[in-house]
């Protein structure tokens, strides 16, 4: 039995030695490496191309600035509209209150319309203009 175990170990050891000898990485075979250098040269740019890129960057900054200013103006206009609505509402309330006060006191009912006053002034000045025309020599 001991000889059978010894024979099995010897056969296993022989198999390992054969595997090691047949392997290329352990034998130290000549290795070949392929190198592909990747050297990049920056693109040649003309002055016109650089000027165009600078102009595009400038326009992008200008558009960003304009957009921020428009947003700020929109916010300000929103606040102004709210304030004007508040003023309008207060004036409407004040007008209604004044109307109630005038009705209670019975005042402010006999005011002539503004157009009637202007028409009356025109009629009064019309004869004066006719006289001025008669006095001036005609050409």
Residue 131 has a pLDDT of 58
For 31, the token pair is 């290795």
pLDDT in tens, 82-120: 999 999 999 999 999 999 999 888 866 555 555 655 565
Residue 41 clears pLDDT 60, i.e. is over it? yes
Identify whether 82 is part of a domain.
Answer: yes
Number of domains in the chain: 1
pLDDT-derived band at 139, boundaries 50, 70, 90: very low
Note whether 102 and 108 are within 8 A (CB): yes
Average pLDDT rounded to a whole number, residues 71-80: 92
Q: What is the mean pLDDT of the chain?
A: 80
Residue 88 lies in a domain: yes
Which pLDDT score is estimated for 118?
Answer: 56
Does 124 map to a domain?
Answer: no
CA dist., res. 51 & res. 58, Å (int): 10
Residues of the domain holding 66: 51-107
Angle at 63 between CA 57 and CA 66, to 5 degrees: 140
Q: Is residue 127 part of a domain?
A: no
């Amino acid at each position: 039995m001991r000889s059978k175990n010894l024979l099995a170990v010897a056969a296993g050891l022989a198999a390992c030695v054969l595997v090691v000898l047949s392997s290329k990485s352990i034998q130290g075979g000549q290795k070949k490496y392929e190198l592909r250098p990747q050297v990049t040269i920056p693109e040649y740019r003309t002055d016109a191309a650089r000027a165009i890129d600078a102009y595009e960057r400038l326009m992008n900054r200008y558009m960003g600035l304009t957009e921020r200013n428009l947003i700020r103006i929109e916010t300000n206009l929103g606040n102004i509209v709210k304030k004007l609505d508040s003023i309008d509402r207060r004036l409407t309330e004040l007008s209604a209150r004044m109307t109630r006060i005038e009705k209670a006191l019975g005042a402010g009912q006999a005011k002539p319309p503004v157009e009637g006053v202007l028409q009356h002034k025109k009629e009064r000045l019309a004869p004066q203009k006719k006289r001025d025309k008669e006095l001036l020599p005609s050409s």
